[in-house]
């Protein structure tokens, strides 16, 4: 009999609805202009929605795959290190897929 961890590793990525997307003021303030923040935010949202969950621990990556296949679905988390300072930024899609937020790790 296969243990749960082995079974979870075989779960494929499936696309998901992100709901209403937004970003926090903290994330926006990392950039010189609102336009630059919007471009960066969209890029992170695209990565997140394509299954590139960024700099996550394996257990968090596995939790995302389980969340995609569970009923009801679970929350999805991505973590990216951006800019020269490698500032940690999270992208979180709520379990009900109503919204996705780009925020600083300090705002989590």
Q: What's the angle, vertex CA 107, arms to CA 24 and CA 32, rounded to 5?
A: 45
pLDDT tens-place values along the chain, 108 residues long: 344 444 445 788 888 999 999 999 999 999 999 999 999 999 999 999 999 999 999 999 999 999 999 999 999 999 999 999 999 999 999 999 999 999 999 998
* Inter-residue contact 16 to 76 (CB < 8 Å): yes
Please state the pTM of the whole predicted model. 0.87
Phi, psi of 59 (to 5 degrees): -65, -35
> In the chain, helix, strand, coil percent, each to 5?
40, 25, 40
The full set of domain ranges for the chain reads 19-107
Phi, psi of 80 (to 5 degrees): -125, 145
Q: How far apart are CA 82 and CA 68, in angstroms?
A: 26
């Amino acid at each position: 009999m296969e243990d749960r961890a082995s079974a979870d590793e075989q779960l494929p990525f499936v696309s998901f609805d992100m709901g209403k997307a937004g970003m926090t003021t903290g994330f926006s303030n990392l950039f010189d202009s609102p336009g630059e923040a919007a471009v960066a935010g969209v890029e992170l949202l695209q990565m997140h929605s394509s299954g590139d969950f960024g700099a996550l621990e394996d257990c968090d990556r596995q939790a995302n795959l389980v969340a995609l296949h569970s009923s009801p679905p679970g929350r999805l988390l991505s973590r990216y290190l951006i800019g020269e300072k490698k500032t940690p930024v999270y992208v979180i899609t709520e379990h009900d897929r109503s919204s996705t937020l780009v925020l600083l790790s300090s705002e989590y």
